[in-house]
Amino acid sequence: EPQRTKRQAISAEPTALDPSKLTDVTLTSYRKTKDELIQRALMDNDFMKHLEHGQILTIMDCMYPTSLAKGCCVIQEGDDGSTVYVLEEGMVEVTKQGKKLCTIGPGKVFGELAILYNCTRTASVTALTDIKLWAIDRQGFQTIMMRTGFIKHSQYTDFLRSVPSFQSLPEDILSKLADVLEETHYSDSDYIIRQGAIGDTFFIISDGQVKVSQQNSVNDEQVTVKTLSKGDWFGEQALKGEDIRTASYTAVGDVTCLVIDRDLFALLCALCRLQAEADFFSSVS
């Protein structure tokens, strides 16, 4: 790892995290034959398995190969970490203050803690054999983490802008709404809404397809009315007042929806009204 003093590293961190710099970072993709090993290693790691699937795939894509000889120190406890590794071949030993913690074999991630938590290396890692590694540096890793957040936020704002009830809302309110949208996940055939139920939640589909069906009043059969997909929304009446759902909505395959309920929506509107009043009074005083 590059030798840097602690002070330099600390002052360098805000630059790596500065959103305005993210567009300058070019993520390089490396062709590799070990996709599966890397992906499994990332998904198996306690701290990384909660990342989104897309983030895991991009991290995997940007990892580059490197190798070290037996006896080399891969990570020194207390250093400023700059790299996350996946071990492809060989064995490494993890020690803390001279005491052995464990050995790690192929298909495992290490060196993630200092990068994820912006701390110094929590342990030393030494090569017990010649080793082959896949690596991603701090800047690439953090860019992937943050870009995903920005892309999501602007995508959520775009979704909201396409809903007629929200079209007249000013940009800053749309942006606040995008912040509070919650992601919910459904599997194939899950009911998202049941016809006849009382609802207080509004949904936007961010991924997958949703079948809309209604009960035929003559023979009680469920009739498919239409299929909705990404960017479509439903349940908007619920934001205005108590809504008896007039149709059932079921997931077709895996579905992700963005949801907001009436209380949160009302709170946000009230806050926005207060803000507008405050702006008005400060402009006339």
Catalog residues that contact ligand CMP under the rule CB under 6 A.
75, 81, 94, 101-102, 110-114, 121-123, 125
Single out the residue of 57, 121, 50 nearest to residue 84, CA to CA. 121
Single out the residue of 140, 118, 133, 132 nearest to residue 59, CA to CA. 140
Q: Which is nearer to ligand CMP, 41 or 173 (CB)?
A: 41
Rounded to a whole number of angstroms, the minimum distance from the CB of residue 278 to ligand CMP is 46
Residue 236 is inside which H or E element, if any?
none
Q: Which is nearer to ligand CMP, 102 or 271 (CB)?
A: 102
Exposure class string for 41-53: b at 16+ Cβ within 10 A, else e? bbeebeebeebee
How many other C-beta atoms lie within 10 A of the C-beta of residue 30? 12
Q: Which is nearer to ligand CMP, 68 or 114 (CB)?
A: 114
Rounded to a whole number of angstroms, the minimum distance from the CB of residue 58 to ligand CMP is 20
Q: Which is nearer to ligand CMP, 74 or 212 (CB)?
A: 74
Which residues have a Cβ under 8 Å from the Cβ of 15 and sit 6 or more positions away? 21
Burial of 263 (0-12, 13-18, 19+ CB in 10 A): exposed
Which residue type occupies 174? L
Rounded to a whole number of angstroms, the minimum distance from the CB of residue 102 to ligand CMP is 5
Query: What value, to the nearest 5°, has the Cα angle with vertex 61 and ends 56 and 67?
Result: 110
Rounded to a whole number of angstroms, the minimum distance from the CB of residue 11 to ligand CMP is 20
Rounded to a whole number of angstroms, the minimum distance from the CB of residue 137 to ligand CMP is 13
Rounded to a whole number of angstroms, the minimum distance from the CB of residue 52 to ligand CMP is 21
Contact 83, 137 (CB under 8 A): yes
Rounded to a whole number of angstroms, the minimum distance from the CB of residue 126 to ligand CMP is 11
Burial of 40 (0-12, 13-18, 19+ CB in 10 A): middle
Q: Which is nearer to ligand CMP, 75 or 210 (CB)?
A: 75
Rounded to a whole number of angstroms, the minimum distance from the CB of residue 99 to ligand CMP is 10
Calpha distance 135→68 (Å, rounded): 12
Take residue 20 and report the two structure tokens written for it: 């305005």
Q: Which is nearer to ligand CMP, 56 or 264 (CB)?
A: 56
Residue 186 is inside which H or E element, if any?
strand 182-186
Would you mind telling me the total number of residues written for the chain in this entry? 285
Q: Which is nearer to ligand CMP, 38 or 114 (CB)?
A: 114
Q: Which residues pair with 227 in a beta bridge?
A: 211
Q: Which is nearer to ligand CMP, 125 or 127 (CB)?
A: 125
